């Protein structure tokens, strides 16, 4: 411990975030074109000695905190995480040897307190992750001043790049092309409108403080300028606070691609580009899929982008990991600087995959004063060798409902197998709750293939194995993206989702074997979990003469064309594992019958979420089908079926529906069992008068109690069964005295 304290006290000045002018670096020379001198934070030190990072506080949450902690642990760095009250049981709060409580949900933003905690606990370095305080120069500065190594760029570079207007001035001065537009301080409505007219409509309004696609509005004509400006300003002020209302007016590129370059710089004057990422597949100006290399990009443009990105980083004396974002106009093939994100990005794994690097490790090494581990040539050689990588962001949201965010408990979570080429960065495990207080990203799935097509195919296959129950996700949507021909061809642009909505949205038919499997699965849970009296399986067994069971489901799935329909399934057990299953959808004349199918299932109850899960393997006439059936712990009738990579949501129809679905006829003067069941109790006595609707018998079927009510007013003649009796469907339960009035 002492050595740690000593280490932080002795921290070389060069580690306190001050940009140094590395002598003899041709590349650094570019930095002199930056309009503002960097003397304010320069201490003149050229000390480039290396002080390894030995302890770190991660000022973030979720998957990024876990991601950073993983590398920190592998480097032997003692790691501490922070958590708020609602995150107390979260994975990131549990993953490290030390974790400090912060309290309120917004406390991740409490910079001074976090710096104080780092000092108090003698922690040498602070990693800000992304989001929260990661691009806050005041926070970086506070760390520097407290003698804590900020694992990120110097505060000055953040200030220069943090403001979209200022960064564009610097870029223009350094010869990096920017989108034509107005970045000035004159902010009256009239002035901005006049600039918009000069730029020519359509224009894009953007907050100088923007991020995450917020505070941006497209203005297509002069008439709508004022309304859009007002709305952009309101959103920006709400998201970014004071100063957020300051707007840029940019030429709106009608068919843009978002292509960004991962850059990395050290304190020795080196700056490399680790390839580019195409992040054009977006919704609400937010990325959903990111890939490297960018598809359909000629090598000259690609290299030019890398050069411009390095130039941009060097112009602000950048140190550490950063991303230079460009917008590429598909109509003219021109590209323009959009902004620089002075941090690690969500999608950094894509670049790690194609370059075979660990960028968090690079961050720690650069923060310690080391040189970059690879040269530009070495990186390029790796990129050529390693093919393509693609990342899908798995969000708690409903794409069919305008990508509306969702939250809730992950009742069931099953992930694809990971390996060297299939990676998952996630912040949650089964049983965790995705809170509406924070970003709804559940996980990132990253895959690599020898080329782009292979990577997409592998991604699609992995997504098919990703199963989530408990909240809406975009997984089904992501699969459809992967199957979209236009996407496979690489014809991407930021309007992609809108342009291809016919193909990407809308219901698809659900095949009958899904319903067959749901019924077989339910039967499985029941026969496995509820052996009936006399050693017989409920409703089945040697003694049963009619060993079949009926189920009715209502499809409750936006993504199915059968949405709302009742589907009736009859399962007949022929022997131990052999069944006939007939499935009839509402509106079909006759059922589809699957004969002699072999089916096996096992049920478990998830320890964390107590969801009941049944895994089935059934040999249908043409194929083996593996299915997972999940019953919601809070609502046993809510079923989710995962089958052949598709998710279908059903509702086991409640008793009222059952009768209707089964077309149950009320036999005059008697009441019969609507389904195979066990008699729990008789609610009436022989000779008793009852009103229509009065409870007669309570039965249990599929672990569900059902009250059988009187279809008529009358007098009970006979109760056919006593408590504990097992009855087949159609067995008479109650007989009435025959009277003329009974109807
Ligand atoms: P001591 O602090 O006296 O060595 P501990 O065993 O409690 O005793 O702590 C071991 C080391 O971990 C110490 O160097 C301590 O400063 C450090 N430490 C304690 N709590 C934290 C924390 N939350 N985050 C980081 N380091 C911590
Ligand atoms: P943020 O800080 O929110 O990330 P950006 O400036 O990076 O803001 O822009 C976010 C997204 O908005 C881009 O990825 C792109 O889809 C779109 N966009 C930005 N500028 C333009 C423009 N001039 N024309 C068209 N689309 C743009
Ligand atoms: Mg951006």
Q: Is the CB of 122 under 6 A from ligand 1?
A: yes
Residues 21-38 pLDDT 10s:
333 333 333 333 333 333
Rg (CA), the chain: 32
DSSP structure class, residue 271: E
pLDDT at 23: 36
From the number of C-beta atoms within 10 Å of its C-beta (0-12, 13-18, 19+), residue 435 rates as middle
Q: Answer whether 19's CB lies under 8 Å from 36's CB.
A: no
Separation CA 718–CA 64 (nearest Å): 68
571 Cβ partners below 8 Å, 6+ apart?
516, 519, 520, 523, 548, 549, 550, 551, 579, 580, 581
Structure tokens at 59: 């000022």
Q: Answer whether 668's CB lies under 8 Å from 712's CB.
A: no
Residues 424-473 pLDDT 10s:
999 999 999 999 889 899 999 999 999 999 999 999 999 999 999 999 99
Peptide bond into 202 cis (omega under 30): yes
Separation CA 726–CA 677 (nearest Å): 6
**Residue 73: count of CB within 10 angstroms of its CB:** 14
Question: Which residues are near ligand 2 (CB < 6 Å)?
Answer: 179, 204, 206, 210-213, 250-253, 256, 258, 282, 285, 325, 327, 338-339, 494
CA dihedral 707, 712, 716, 718 (to 10 degrees): -70
Q: Which residue out of 122, 124, 125 has the highest number of ligand 1 atoms within 8 Å of its CB and is therefore the one to mutate? A: 122
Confidence of residue 649 (pLDDT cuts 50, 70, 90): very high
What single string gives the DSSP state of each residue in 548-573? EEEEEEEE--TTBTTTT-EEEEEEEE
Report the DSSP pairing between strands 714-719 and 689-690.
antiparallel
Closest residue to atom 18 of ligand 1, CA basis = 121
Q: For the chain, what is the mean pLDDT?
A: 88
CA of 140 to the centre of ligand 1 (A): 24
pLDDT at 485 over 50: yes
Which of the ligands is closest to the CA of residue 259? 2
pLDDT at 529 over 90: no
pLDDT at 113 over 90: yes
* Of 531, 394, 578, 357, the residue nearest 474 (C-alpha): 394
Separation CA 80–CA 670 (nearest Å): 71
* Of 319, 386, 391, 377, the residue nearest 357 (C-alpha): 386
Lowest mean per-residue pLDDT among 72-81, 109-118, 432-441, 732-741? 732-741
DSSP structure class, residue 277: E
pLDDT at 249 over 90: yes
Q: Answer whether 33's CB lies under 8 Å from 97's CB.
A: no
Closest residue to atom 2 of ligand 2, CA basis = 211
Structure tokens at 578: 């052999």
Separation CA 537–CA 543 (nearest Å): 10
Among 16, 343, 480, 554, which one carries the catalytic annotation?
A: 343
- Measured over the CA atoms of residue 536, residue 541, residue 547 and residue 551, the dihedral's sign is positive
pLDDT at 121 over 60: yes
CA of 477 to the centre of ligand 2 (A): 23
Separation CA 150–CA 38 (nearest Å): 18
CA of 327 to the centre of ligand 3 (A): 10
Residues 487-522 pLDDT 10s:
999 999 999 999 999 999 989 999 999 999 999 999
Peptide bond into 394 cis (omega under 30): no
Structure tokens at 529: 């979990």
Q: Is the CB of 121 under 6 A from ligand 1?
A: yes
Separation CA 558–CA 564 (nearest Å): 9
CA separation, residue 368 to residues 42, 47, 149, 376, 379 (Å): 18, 12, 8, 21, 21
Separation CA 634–CA 431 (nearest Å): 13
Q: Answer whether 398's CB lies under 8 Å from 505's CB.
A: no
Q: Answer whether 584's CB lies under 8 Å from 566's CB.
A: no
SS3 41: coil
Mean pLDDT value of segment 91-105 = 95
**E strand or H helix at 596:** strand 592-605
Question: CA angle at residue 261 from 259 to 266, to 5 degrees?
Answer: 170
pLDDT at 4: 36
Separation CA 363–CA 56 (nearest Å): 12
Of 3 and 107, the structure prediction assigns the larger pLDDT to: 107
pTM to 2 decimal places: 0.78
* Of 600, 562, 599, 558, the residue nearest 584 (C-alpha): 562
Confidence of residue 291 (pLDDT cuts 50, 70, 90): very high
Q: Answer whether 20's CB lies under 8 Å from 43's CB.
A: no
**Residue 362: count of CB within 10 angstroms of its CB:** 23
Q: Which residue out of 98, 101, 118 has the highest number of ligand 1 atoms within 8 Å of its CB and is therefore the one to mutate? A: 98
Separation CA 250–CA 272 (nearest Å): 29
pLDDT at 213: 79
**E strand or H helix at 480:** helix 475-483
Lowest mean per-residue pLDDT among 12-21, 136-145, 283-292, 569-578? 12-21
Closest residue to atom 26 of ligand 1, CA basis = 121
Q: Answer whether 507's CB lies under 8 Å from 648's CB.
A: no
SS3 515: helix
Closest residue to atom 17 of ligand 1, CA basis = 121
Residues 518-528 pLDDT 10s:
999 999 887 76
pLDDT at 97: 93
pLDDT at 18: 36
pLDDT at 703: 58
Q: Answer whether 262's CB lies under 8 Å from 348's CB.
A: yes
Residues 531-544 pLDDT 10s:
433 333 334 444 34
CA of 110 to the centre of ligand 1 (A): 22
SS3 329: strand
Catalytic: 343?
yes
pLDDT at 456: 98
What does the longest C-alpha to C-alpha distance in the chain come to? 111
pLDDT at 530: 45
SS3 199: helix
Separation CA 168–CA 178 (nearest Å): 7
Separation CA 103–CA 105 (nearest Å): 7
Separation CA 153–CA 321 (nearest Å): 7
Q: Answer whether 466's CB lies under 8 Å from 549's CB.
A: no
Separation CA 160–CA 169 (nearest Å): 10
SS3 250: strand
CA of 213 to the centre of ligand 2 (A): 7
């Amino acid at each position: 411990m002492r050595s740690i304290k000593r280490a932080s006290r002795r921290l070389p000045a060069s580690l306190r975030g001050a940009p140094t002018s590395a002598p003899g670096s041709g590349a650094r020379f570019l930095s002199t074109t930056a309009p503002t001198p960097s003397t304010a934070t320069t201490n003149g030190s050229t000390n480039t000695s290396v002080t390894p990072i030995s302890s770190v506080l991660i000022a973030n949450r979720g998957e990024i905190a876990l991601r950073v902690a993983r590398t920190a642990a592998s480097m032997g760095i003692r790691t501490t995480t922070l958590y708020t009250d609602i995150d107390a049981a979260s994975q990131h709060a549990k993953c490290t040897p030390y974790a400090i409580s912060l309290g309120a949900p917004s406390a991740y933003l409490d910079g001074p307190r976090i710096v104080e905690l780092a000092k108090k606990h003698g922690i040498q370095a602070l990693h800000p992750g992304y989001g929260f305080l990661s691009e806050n120069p005041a926070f970086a500065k506070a760390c520097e001043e407290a003698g804590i190594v900020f694992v990120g760029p110097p505060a000055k570079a953040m200030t220069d790049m943090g403001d979209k207007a200022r960064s564009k001035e610097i870029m223009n001065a350094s010869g990096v092309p920017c989108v034509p537009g107005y970045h000035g301080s004159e902010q009256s409505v009239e002035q901005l409108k006049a600039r918009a007219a000069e730029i020519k409509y359509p224009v894009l309004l953007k907050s100088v403080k923007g991020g995450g696609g917020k505070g941006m509005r497209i203005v297509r004509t002069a008439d709508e300028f004022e309304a859009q400006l007002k709305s952009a300003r309101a959103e920006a002020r709400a998201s970014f606070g004071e100063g957020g209302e300051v707007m840029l007016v940019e030429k709106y590129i009608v068919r843009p691609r978002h292509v960004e370059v991962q850059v990395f710089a050290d304190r020795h004057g080196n700056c490399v580009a680790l390839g580019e990422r195409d992040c054009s597949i977006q919704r609400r100006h937010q990325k959903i899929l990111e890939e490297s290399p960018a598809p359909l990009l000629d090598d000259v443009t690609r290299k030019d982008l890398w050069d411009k990105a390095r130039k941009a980083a060097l112009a602000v004396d950048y140190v550490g990991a950063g991303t230079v974002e460009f917008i590429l106009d598909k109509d003219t093939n021109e590209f323009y600087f959009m902004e620089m994100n002075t941090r690690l990005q969500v999608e950094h794994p894509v670049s790690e995959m194609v370059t075979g690097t660990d960028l968090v490790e690079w961050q720690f090494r650069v923060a310690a004063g080391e040189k970059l581990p690879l040269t530009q040539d070495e990186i390029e050689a790796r990129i050529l060798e390693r093919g393509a990588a693609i990342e899908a962001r798995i969000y708690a949201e409903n794409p069919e409902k305008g990508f509306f965010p969702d939250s809730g408990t992950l009742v069931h979570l099953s992930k694809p197998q990971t390996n060297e080429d299939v990676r998952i960065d996630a912040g949650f495990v089964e049983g965790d709750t995705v809170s509406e207080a924070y970003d709804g990203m559940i996980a990132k799935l990253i895959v690599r293939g020898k080329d782009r097509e292979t990577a997409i195919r592998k991604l699609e296959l992995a997504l098919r194995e990703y199963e989530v129950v408990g909240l809406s996700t975009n997984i089904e949507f992501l699969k459809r993206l992967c199957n979209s021909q236009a996407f496979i061809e690489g014809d991407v642009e930021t309007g992609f989702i809108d342009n291809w909505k016919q193909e990407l949205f809308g219901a698809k038919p659900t095949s009958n074997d899904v319903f067959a499997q749901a019924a077989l699965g339910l039967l499985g849970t029941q026969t496995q979990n509820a052996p009936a009296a006399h050693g017989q399986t409920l409703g089945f067994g040697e003694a049963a003469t009619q060993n079949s069971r009926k189920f009715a489901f209502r499809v409750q799935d936006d993504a199915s064309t059968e949405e709302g329909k009742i589907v009736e399934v009859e399962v007949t057990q022929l022997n131990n594992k052999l069944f006939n299953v007939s499935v009839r959808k509402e509106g079909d004349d006759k059922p589809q019958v699957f004969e002699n199918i072999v089916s096996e299932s096992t049920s478990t109850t998830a320890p964390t979420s107590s969801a009941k899960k049944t895994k089935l393997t059934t040999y249908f006439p043409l194929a083996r089908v593996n299915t997972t059936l999940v019953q919601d712990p809070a609502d046993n009738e809510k079923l989710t079926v995962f089958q052949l990579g598709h998710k279908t949501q059903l509702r086991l129809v409640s008793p009222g529906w059952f009768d209707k679905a089964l077309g149950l006829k009320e036999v005059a003067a008697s009441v019969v069992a609507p389904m195979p069941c066990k008699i729990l109790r008789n609610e009436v006595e022989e000779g008793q008068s009852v009103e229509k609707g009065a409870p007669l018998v309570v039965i249990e079927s599929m672990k569900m109690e059902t009250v059988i009510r009187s279809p008529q007013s009358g007098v009970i003649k006979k109760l056919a069964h006593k408590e504990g009796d097992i009855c087949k469907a159609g067995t008479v339960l109650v007989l009435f005295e025959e009277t003329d009035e009974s109807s």
